A and B are shown apart, each in its own frame.
Chain A
Amino acid sequence: MTTRQWGALLAGTILALIAGVSVGAVDIDWRGVAGALSAAPTGEAALVRYLRMPRVVLAFLVGGALSVAGASLQALVRNPLADPYLVGLSGGAGLGAVLAIALHLGGPWAVPLAAFAGALGAVAVVYRLSVVAGRRLDPHILLLGGVVVGAFAGSLMSAVITLASASELRSAMLWLLGGFGMASWPAVAVFASYALVPLGLLVGSARGLDLLTLGEENAQYLGADVEALKRRVYLSVAALTGAAVAVSGIIGFVGLVVPHVMRRWGVPLHRQLLPAAFLAGGAFLVLSDLIARSLFRPLELPVGVVTALIGVPIFALQLRKSLR
């Protein structure tokens, strides 16, 4: 990746962040936006400071985290179709959230925490399934196990929805579709401090991921502790994605497409791919959320709808160009 490419990526990211805080459900001029940076903002500036800014920052962090998780998982299982939600997480998270709502668990954080617990529960089952003969983590079983555990949790979720009170659970489904409506500075702080560890572990595993793309055996010959690496990468991906679900529901497509786009843009090595995917994924989700909350204002689209509507054409165009 050239310096020029890095410059373009950084500039694009900064522009996306500025656009994100400048546009929203309410028209606020640049004075209001700039006023948000003052010590004690009031009126519109307070709106920007306490609603819009944490929302933009959270979208950026979640987009970045999902892209890094997707890039790492794709390298781990050597399958370009791998999406961080494919490893059983979304089903588990959905089940957790729906149970929390059906059981009327109190407290402002009950639903996100239950979604997080559900995601990690599903991951634990998949992980146990995939550890063959007590030692080796089989990437294929990881994917298969993820799909079946996800389907199982999804069916349980549908059963709970059918049996419990309707209106609240429909709302739970909407929550699962994803969005940043519940972003706040405390949520940003919790997510950022939590995500640092798995993000650091993944970036630290960048060279190992490069070796893994050559095949497990070759990676072994080249000096990588393959089993430890796979376990570290998988658990980091799961922890990162679980946290993303907890703060923003299930936002598909970012973790699948952004790593591909960056690879085709000429960033094959993970040492560069992971940071580049973080920036691109963050900017992409900030812009998607911007569209989701301002296109039909005051109505709000689920952000996952927008990520797919924008992401698919970009991806298809690039795929076509690269095949030519």
Chain B
Amino acid sequence: MACPGVPSPCPAHRRPPGSGRFSLVLTRRSAWLLLTVLLGAVGCVGRESTPGAPAIMAVDDLGDTLRLATRATRIVSLIPATTELLFALGLGDRVVGRTTWCDYPAAARAVPSLGDGLQPNLEAIVAAQPDLVVLYNSVQNVAAADRLRAQHIPTVLVTTDRLADVPRLARLLAPLGGRAEAGDSLARWFEAALDSATATGGGHTRNVLVLAWDQPPIVIGAGSFLSELVERAGGRNVFHDLAAASAPVSLEAIASRDVDVVLVLGDTMPAFARRAEWMSVPAVREHRFVYVPSALFSRPGPRSPEALRVLSAALRAGPLP
């Protein structure tokens, strides 16, 4: 099937993605993602004009084909990133279920929460009478999706880890709600906005440490959209050599990585800045922290270009070694 307009992931993007809340299920999930890539399951959407045939078709990130007779009108979205995206696509009024973490836009909070999205509550989903369920592409959710489909509830499994997932999923999800043009235009806008916000050369490249956790130290690797944002903001992720989205590393390795600044998602000095062992990392000892609002950086989505601008400015203004 042809997928016009769907950007195929470049080889650099074919890494086990993952970020934020899902960071520690990476290892288990990466096998699935690898499988996804091998199956060539780039989500793509087409329409068949044959009378009587399903009106809308989509292939999800696990390679399963979804057929909808009519556009979806009751959508359960159990990923914060897709909830945000559905609202941005003008499909917000059709979202009838979300996760506890879906906090953006504000209108999303009015939608009933159906749990944390990691182990979906099937009864609650079925009770919401959805005609489309969006689940994160993880091992637990594959079983959940099978059971939902057995109940004749169309379900898609998608990955939302990298910046390229935003336009890709816009083009995947919008047609399912009958708003293919909105998906296309959001995708085009996103790519252009991201490119125009991307720092273009010049100046000193900051070596940035992005921590997911400090006890034990877990760093963000190249597989995370946070790493992509850092690189686009004119920085360099000091752990860009780690393919995973996040990984536990030795403090010794961090200390030897020549960190210029530490990215802090939030506005308060992290507690580890006062721990003796972290004094061996010069950037921490000298409090070279760059603070950015955590809400903008919690997931890849339509706000990522704005996040990129904020990060670029923060890195430019940030403390110099």
Binding site for B on A (CB under 8 A): 24-26, 44, 46-47, 50-52, 54, 106-108, 110-111, 162, 165-168, 170-171, 173-175, 179, 181-187, 293, 297-300
Cβ of B239: which chain A residues have Cβ within 8 Å of it? 298
The 8 Å CB contact of A181, one of B116, B242, B251, is: B251
- Interface 1/0s, chain B 258-294, versus A by CB < 8 A? 0000000000000110111101100000000000000
Cβ contact within 8 Å between A174 and B255: no
Cβ contact within 8 Å between B253 and A25: yes
Q: Does B256 touch A at the CB level, under 8 Å?
A: yes
A-B pairs, top 4 by smallest CB distance, nearest first, are: A298-B253, A184-B276, A25-B250, A184-B277
A-B contact count (CB 8 A): 105
The 8 Å CB contact of A46, one of B218, B276, B280, is: B280
Given contacts A51-B252, A110-B271, A171-B215, 13 further A-B pairs with CB under 8 A are A25-B250, A47-B255, A50-B279, A50-B280, A107-B271, A108-B274, A165-B21, A167-B20, A167-B21, A167-B23, A174-B24, A181-B216, A299-B249
> Assuming the A-B contacts A171-B218, A181-B215, are A25 and B275 also in contact, with contact meaning beta carbons closer than 8 angstroms in the complex?
no
Cβ contact within 8 Å between A300 and B116: no
Cβ of A167: which chain B residues have Cβ within 8 Å of it? 20-24, 212-213
| Distance, CA A96 to CA B78, complexed state (A) | 30
Cβ contact within 8 Å between B23 and A54: no
| Distance, CA A300 to CA B251, complexed state (A) | 9
Cβ contact within 8 Å between B271 and A171: no
> Assuming the A-B contacts A46-B280, A166-B116, A187-B277, are A181 and B255 also in contact, with contact meaning beta carbons closer than 8 angstroms in the complex?
no
Chain B: minimal CB distance from A288 (Å): 14
Q: Does B91 touch A at the CB level, under 8 Å?
A: no
Cβ of A170: which chain B residues have Cβ within 8 Å of it? 23-25
Cβ of B248: which chain A residues have Cβ within 8 Å of it? 174, 181, 299-300
Q: Does B7 touch A at the CB level, under 8 Å?
A: no
Q: Does B321 touch A at the CB level, under 8 Å?
A: no
| Distance, CA A52 to CA B79, complexed state (A) | 41
| Distance, CA A162 to CA B121, complexed state (A) | 13
Cβ of A173: which chain B residues have Cβ within 8 Å of it? 24
> Assuming the A-B contacts A50-B277, A170-B23, A298-B253, are A106 and B271 also in contact, with contact meaning beta carbons closer than 8 angstroms in the complex?
yes
Q: Does B308 touch A at the CB level, under 8 Å?
A: no
Chain B: minimal CB distance from A34 (Å): 17
> Assuming the A-B contacts A26-B256, A108-B274, A171-B218, are A181 and B23 also in contact, with contact meaning beta carbons closer than 8 angstroms in the complex?
no
Q: Does B112 touch A at the CB level, under 8 Å?
A: no
Cβ of A26: which chain B residues have Cβ within 8 Å of it? 252-253, 255-256
Chain A: minimal CB distance from B274 (Å): 5
Cβ of A297: which chain B residues have Cβ within 8 Å of it? 250, 253
The 8 Å CB contact of A293, one of B21, B25, B247, B252, is: B252
Cβ contact within 8 Å between B24 and A171: yes
Cβ of A108: which chain B residues have Cβ within 8 Å of it? 271-272, 274-275
Cβ of A106: which chain B residues have Cβ within 8 Å of it? 271
Cβ contact within 8 Å between B250 and A181: yes
Report the nearest A residue to B298, measured CB to CB: A167
Chain A: minimal CB distance from B136 (Å): 12
Cβ of A44: which chain B residues have Cβ within 8 Å of it? 256
Cβ contact within 8 Å between B216 and A179: yes
Cβ of A300: which chain B residues have Cβ within 8 Å of it? 216, 248-250
Chain B: minimal CB distance from A29 (Å): 14
Chain A: minimal CB distance from B156 (Å): 22
Cβ of A184: which chain B residues have Cβ within 8 Å of it? 275-277, 279
Cβ of A185: which chain B residues have Cβ within 8 Å of it? 276
Cβ contact within 8 Å between A51 and B255: yes
Q: Does B118 touch A at the CB level, under 8 Å?
A: yes
| Distance, CA A44 to CA B256, complexed state (A) | 8
Cβ of B212: which chain A residues have Cβ within 8 Å of it? 167, 171
Cβ of A51: which chain B residues have Cβ within 8 Å of it? 251-252, 255, 277, 280
Cβ contact within 8 Å between B277 and A183: yes
| Distance, CA A24 to CA B215, complexed state (A) | 19
| Distance, CA A34 to CA B240, complexed state (A) | 32
The 8 Å CB contact of B213, one of A54, A162, A168, A299, is: A168
Cβ contact within 8 Å between A25 and B271: no
| Distance, CA A185 to CA B278, complexed state (A) | 12
> Assuming the A-B contacts A108-B271, A167-B20, A300-B249, are A54 and B277 also in contact, with contact meaning beta carbons closer than 8 angstroms in the complex?
yes
Interface core residue of B25, B218, B251, B271 (most chain A CB under 10 Å): B251
